[in-house]
Amino acid sequence: MNLPTFNSIKPEQILPTIKQLIEDNNSQISNLLAATDSYNWNNLIQPINELNDTLNRIWSPIQHLHNVADNPELRAAYNSCLPLLSAYHSELGQNKSLFEAYKSIEVKDSQQKVISNELRDFRLSGIDLSAEKQARYKQIKEQLSKLSTQFSENVLDATHAWKKHITDQSLLAGLPESVLALAKQNAKDADLTGWLLTLDFPCYQPVMNYADNRELRYEMYKAFVTRASTGQWDNSDIMQEIVTLRQQLAQLLGFANYAEYSLSTKMAETPEQVLEFLTDLATRAKPIAETELEQLKSFAKQELEPWDIPYYSEKLRKHLYDLSEEQLRQYFPLNKVLTGLFKIVEKLYGLTIKESTDNIDTWHKDVQFFDVYGKAGELRGQFYLDTFARKAKRGGAWMDECIIRHRTAKGLQTPVAYLCCNFTPPINDKPSLLTHREVTTLFHEFGHGLHHILTQVDYAPVAGINGVAWDAVELPSQFMENWCWQQPALDIFAENLPAELLTKMLAAKNFQIGMFTLRQIEFGLFDFRLHLEGRTDIQNLLDEVRQQIAVVFPPDFNRFQHSFSHIFAGGYAAGYYSYKWAEVLSADAFSKFEETGIFDSTTGQQFLETILEKGGSEEAMELFIKFRERAPKIDALLRHHGMMA
């Protein structure tokens, strides 16, 4: 099966191994270039793809452990490799002999897409620059790699450094039993009596939603929104340096700014197009959000601070719909949701998903491993599932590549994914119970996983999510969320959900949708303007964006940007707008299922063949048009959000 052996990875062996691999790859690429002056796919590109895949196979589990099982020794080893890897990729991208060899090769279809992407990336790596500017490019890339990792580590360390020990249960009034049990388990794990609150999301969010103690909500809110903004984990200078270096990188390559550089690999064509898209959505959402906020203030009968809004919103939801997120938990035990999710993709795509009975090496006892089989019983892919929050694991939810589909002379390499979430773990004899929002998160990440696993492209650079325009990457993930709201699907993955509760859920689906939409646009507009304008007065820019579109204004001490890992440590720089952009695509794609039936296998097969299996082998817009038989429209998104005029 040739899966990673996580428990055999020793920090002291990481740097020597990566160093040797890079040296070997460089040597073999030089030999390939010297072996002939008549290049083709088989004597150059295929061998190079295999060399890079070998490096990825070794580096991927190391990078993954850094995300899910961090410790000082591993972190030091991981960080020591970043300059080497950055230099390796920069040097490949600036290798003129390799560039000329790629230009000389004539192929068709998916192979041509690989070469087209590579030629674009040569130019984005500075192939046309002078030697002096190429050296500066490499230096910037190495610095950015180091800074982004440091940003992420600061957020992780600051998050886990804050704890509040409580021995008086009256201070926890209003908290659901599930949260009290989690806090009690936290205390027990730390050899304390009483309850221990943390900033991990399964603890933080319920406190903000349900704690009657306003001072407690304020204290946790302040701790959460000031993470990594002071002391030893302060990201202030790191953010400014990242923005400055990105701007220098873009201008070095001939772009006016980093936003233009970013769009060179996305569906959106110009910065103006992105700004117009976000502004248009904000214009539609703001009147709705203003009405929602006034309704909330009227209900609370007081002026509201940000640490009051989730609390009174939950009470208002309960008042209007007799519904709360917490009361839904009992209907969504994790195992039932997983089983139902697998049945849904079986109906849609003819897949069978089974937990592996093999003795699979994992990084934690809670990790599960699954095999994905196609209609004919063939193995299509596999995935690790790591669902629970814990110390040394970064927050949020994500899918990442473990092994990429790739065909070699030895045969086909089966794709393998990592799927990670941060849900509340089982406590004592009680199973893990999800909120409906967490169910949606699970479906979302599973959509990413399907995109990676189900690819039928045999070339790693355009297989799965590779080579897909970044503002289309969220299409399969957001698309899967739609089944979280459909009664026939809920009947499959929910545990005896009463019909009257489903009616209430659907009635409450767009509760405060205007405020939520504006918040997402605020993030997207801040990110895009930051990289369009190259601003280092980051707080001032965020304040400007809020003045333009927000209805809720945080206090002066709020430093949200210091933990905005998507844009400072992830792949979303000048691309956070893609969540809303892809939401248009996903809503429009799902509208076809609304027309034909949400489990219509013919439509499911069409989506499988035109989107999920194609990876990055064709342009995202071309693939969408093949599926929808027309260009995307925003109407379905507006209808789903209740924003149609």
CA atoms of 142 and 134, how far apart (whole Å): 12
Element (H, E) at 195: strand 195-198
- CA-nearest of 53, 41, 117 to 468 is 117
Which stretches of the chain drop beneath a pLDDT of 70? 1, 645
The answer to whether 562 and 229 are in contact (CB under 8 A) is yes
Residues 113, 194, single domain; the answer is: no
The answer to whether 538 and 351 are in contact (CB under 8 A) is no
Q: For residue 5, is it left (φ>0), alpha (ψ between -120 and 50) or beta? A: beta
DSSP 596-615: H-TT-HHHHHHHIIIIITTT
Question: On the CB side of 374, how many CA atoms lie within 13 Å of its CA?
Answer: 14
- Could you tell me whether strands 368-373 and 379-388 are parallel, antiparallel, or unpaired per DSSP bridges? antiparallel
Residue 469 forms part of a structural domain: yes
CA atoms of 322 and 131, how far apart (whole Å): 67
Residue 417 forms part of a structural domain: yes
The answer to whether 641 and 287 are in contact (CB under 8 A) is no
Residues 114, 50, single domain; the answer is: yes
CATH number at residue 110: 1.20.1050.40
Active-site residue, from 445, 474, 481, 583? 445
The answer to whether 527 and 567 are in contact (CB under 8 A) is yes
Residues 199, 60, single domain; the answer is: no
The position carrying tokens 């002078």 is 130
Residues 100, 209, single domain; the answer is: no
Residue 119 forms part of a structural domain: yes
Confidence (pLDDT) at 645: 56
3-state secondary structure of 4: coil
3-state secondary structure of 78: helix
Amino acid identity of 417?
A
Residues 352, 457, single domain; the answer is: yes
Give 340's contacts (C-beta < 8 A, 6+ positions apart).
489, 492, 493, 494
Confidence (pLDDT) at 644: 72
Residue 140 forms part of a structural domain: no
Confidence (pLDDT) at 409: 84
Domain boundary among the residues 201, 227, 253 is at 227
Residue 522 forms part of a structural domain: no
Rg of the chain, C-alpha, whole Å: 25
Residues 12, 102, single domain; the answer is: yes
- CA-nearest of 321, 327, 328 to 494 is 328
Domain boundary among the residues 103, 128, 153 is at 128
By residue range, what is the domain housing residue 461?
A: 331-507+579-640
Element (H, E) at 567: helix 565-568
Packing angle of the helix pair 109-124, 72-93 (nearest 10 deg)? 100
- Sheet strand arrangement including 368-373: 352-355, 368-373, 379-388, 416-423, 398-403
Residues 21, 85, single domain; the answer is: yes
Residues 118, 213, single domain; the answer is: no
The values of phi and psi at residue 376, to 5°, are -90, 10
- CA-nearest of 284, 261, 276 to 577 is 276
Amino acid identity of 496?
N
DSSP 280-307: HHHHHHHHHHHHHHHHHHHHHTS---TT
CA atoms of 208 and 74, how far apart (whole Å): 34
349's tokens: 């795509």
Handedness of CA 62, 63, 69, 71 (dihedral sign): positive
290 C-beta neighbours (distance < 10 Å), count: 14
Question: On the CB side of 406, how many CA atoms lie within 13 Å of its CA?
Answer: 23
Domain boundary among the residues 128, 154, 172 is at 128
126's tokens: 């500075």
CATH number at residue 397: 1.10.1370.40
DSSP 429-455: TBPPB--HHHHHHHHHHHHHHHHHHS-
Residues 499, 589, single domain; the answer is: yes
Residue 267 forms part of a structural domain: no
Residues 16, 121, single domain; the answer is: yes
* Strand residue runs (E) in 4-91: none
Catalytic residue list contains 445:
yes
Residues 86, 197, single domain; the answer is: no
The values of phi and psi at residue 303, to 5°, are -70, 145
Confidence (pLDDT) at 1: 60
Residues 95, 31, single domain; the answer is: yes
360's tokens: 């699979």
632 C-beta neighbours (distance < 10 Å), count: 21
Give 586's contacts (C-beta < 8 A, 6+ positions apart).
474, 475, 476, 477, 478, 479, 481, 482
- Number of domains comprising the chain: 3
Confidence (pLDDT) at 2: 87
The values of phi and psi at residue 293, to 5°, are -70, -40
CA atoms of 423 and 440, how far apart (whole Å): 12
Residue 324 forms part of a structural domain: no
204's tokens: 């933080």
> Residue 399 pairs with which residues in a beta bridge?
419
The answer to whether 497 and 331 are in contact (CB under 8 A) is yes
CA atoms of 169 and 189, how far apart (whole Å): 18
Residue 391 forms part of a structural domain: yes
pTM of the model: 0.97
CA atoms of 289 and 519, how far apart (whole Å): 10
The answer to whether 142 and 83 are in contact (CB under 8 A) is yes
CA atoms of 243 and 264, how far apart (whole Å): 18
577's tokens: 């707008």
